[in-house]
Amino acid sequence: MIPSTLCRGKVSKPDRMVGKLLRDRRGAVYVEFLVAFLPLFIFFECLVQLSGLLTAKLVVQHAAVTATRAAAVVIYDDPQYYGDEKVGSVTGKRLEAIELAAAIPMRSVRSLIDYELNFPSQPGGTDTRKDFGRDDLVRVRVKATYRCQVPIASRLVCDFVSSTRNLTGEAALPNQGASYDY
């Protein structure tokens, strides 16, 4: 059964408004812009965050190389400069000097919030050496925590909950310490 208002050719005001809205094309460009812009914006944010992360990874690797070079010098250096500690051991002031050598390059990246340094005996090893012989290979691993800071992208590039990522750098050099007594 057809309503009486349609039989007489009259359309109610709400029906006219719905029809007018369905024919209206204003704002279509804005919606298309939002549909295209948001994924592109998030993509560029992720690129910025990833570039920061990769820069920090290079800095952590450089810190490992710097600490290894310092260790190769400090381990067999004159004990009088390190509180008369035993030559060949990585403890006390010798360890502090090596940690300082690793910390200096990492200060260039503000997003590196924490780091630890250890001396594994093999690549990827979990042990930590404290004593080195004259011709031993000195290996230093630097583990650092990077805090992602770019909105939205920090959740996608780094850990979703904490917005951090753990970075590791490792380097090794032969210990070429002096073969004489101080």
**pLDDT digits over 85-140, tens only?**
888 899 999 999 999 999 999 999 999 999 999 999 999 888 999 999 888 999 99
Residue 173 above 90 pLDDT?
yes
Triad 76, 81, 84: Cα angle to 5°: 80
Residue 15 above 70 pLDDT?
yes
| Burial zone of 74 (CB within 10 Å; 0-12 exposed, 13-18 middle, 19+ buried) | buried
Handedness of CA 88, 93, 95, 97 (dihedral sign): negative
Question: What is the predicted pLDDT for the residue at 13?
Answer: 73
Query: Three-state DSSP class for 30?
Result: helix
What's the pLDDT band for 175 if we cut at 50, 70, 90? Answer: confident
For 28-59, letters b (16+ CB in 10 Å) and e give eeeeeeeeeeeeeeeeebbeebbebbeebbeb
In the chain, the number of structural domains is 1
Query: Three-state DSSP class for 141?
Result: strand
Q: Examine residue 81 and state whether it is found in any structural domain, yes or no.
A: yes
Q: Examine residue 8 and state whether it is found in any structural domain, yes or no.
A: no
Q: Examine residue 169 and state whether it is found in any structural domain, yes or no.
A: yes
pLDDT tens sequence across 29-81: 888 888 899 999 999 999 999 999 999 999 999 999 999 999 999 998 888 88
Q: Examine residue 10 and state whether it is found in any structural domain, yes or no.
A: no
What's the pLDDT band for 5 if we cut at 50, 70, 90? Answer: low
Q: Examine residue 15 and state whether it is found in any structural domain, yes or no.
A: no
Written as one letter, the residue type at 112 is L
Q: Examine residue 157 and state whether it is found in any structural domain, yes or no.
A: yes
- Which tokens hold the place of 161? 């909950």
Backbone phi, psi, residue 69, to 5°: -65, -40
- Residue 129 to residue 70: CA distance in whole angstroms: 16
Backbone phi, psi, residue 159, to 5°: -60, 135
Question: What is the predicted pLDDT for the residue at 59?
Answer: 98
Domain that holds residue 63: 28-174
Q: Examine residue 23 and state whether it is found in any structural domain, yes or no.
A: no
Residue 182 above 70 pLDDT?
no
Can you give the three-state secondary structure of 66-122, one letter per residue? HHHHHHHHHCCCCHHHHCCCCCCECCHHHHHHHHHHHHHHHCCCCCEEEEEEECCCC
- Residue 124 to residue 141: CA distance in whole angstroms: 8
Q: Examine residue 12 and state whether it is found in any structural domain, yes or no.
A: no
